[in-house]
Amino acid sequence: MEISLQDSIGKSISKDIDFAYHKANLVYNNETIEIVEPIAVRGQVTVSQGIADVKLSVKTRMRYTCSRCLDIFEEDFELEIDEKVSKDEQEDENIITLEEGDVLDLRDVVLNNIYSALPLKVLCKEECKGLCQDCGFNLNHGTCECAHEELDPRFSALKDMF
Ligand SMILES: [Zn+2]
Ligand SMILES: [Zn+2]
């Protein structure tokens, strides 16, 4: 979905946006995140004086690999986009400048916003226990045969002192 910012000189154009597209995978922090459903984009873009006011809702579903226990899990992904894009640099720092040309590709806007909305560290759940460092057992599914001292970090600091 491409929108020309050139046409808008001297007038204001509003466009209803409703499209979906497939994008197979994202590579993020050296991890691959699979996009398992088409990315659905709805909303409105208003272009006036070479500046696009982009208001979009994005919905899809992602398949992640937990960075701690390596479990694969799926989650719905939703995102609201509200940003302004200009073909020329503006004094207002909140207005993003198009890298080149005067055509705004909404798929680029969506993708950039998806990347910045992803968590820094993908975890299946906040309190994921990860894998046993000795046998590789997924500690979310129970306990393994290895002997683990449950060390409270405060006590282990004490222990180091003695
Ligand atoms: Zn996990
Ligand atoms: Zn173990």
- DSSP labels for 18-40? EEEE---EEEETTEEEEE-S-EE
pLDDT value at residue 36? 94
Q: Among all ligands shown, which has an atom nearest to the Cα of 141? A: 1
What is the Å distance from ligand 2's center to 137 Cα?
6
- pLDDT single digits (tens) 83-101: 999 988 888 889 999 888 8
Model pLDDT, residue 7: 63
Which ligand has the nearest atom to the CA of 124?
1
For the CA of 136, the nearest ligand: 2
CA atoms within 13 A on the CB side of 103: 4
- Rounded to the nearest angstrom, the gap between the alpha carbon of residue 63 and the centroid of all alpha carbons in its chain is 12
Distance 93 CA to ligand 1 centre (A): 38
C-alpha 118 to ligand 2 mean position (Å): 31
What was the pLDDT predicted at 119? 85
* Cα(156) to centroid(ligand 2), Å: 20
pLDDT per residue, tens digit, the chain (162 aa), is: 888 888 656 788 999 999 999 987 888 878 889 999 999 999 999 999 889 999 999 999 999 999 999 999 999 999 999 999 998 888 888 999 988 888 999 999 999 999 999 988 899 999 999 999 999 999 999 999 887 666 555 555 555 565
Domain residue spans of the chain:
2-126, 129-162
Pair 132, 33: CB distance under 8 Å = no
Please give the torsion angle defined by the CA atoms of residues 113, 103, 5 and 117, in that order, rounded to the nearest 10 degrees.
Answer: 0
Ligand of minimum distance to the alpha carbon of 144: 2
* Residue 54 burial (C-beta neighbours within 10 Å; 0-12, 13-18, 19+): buried
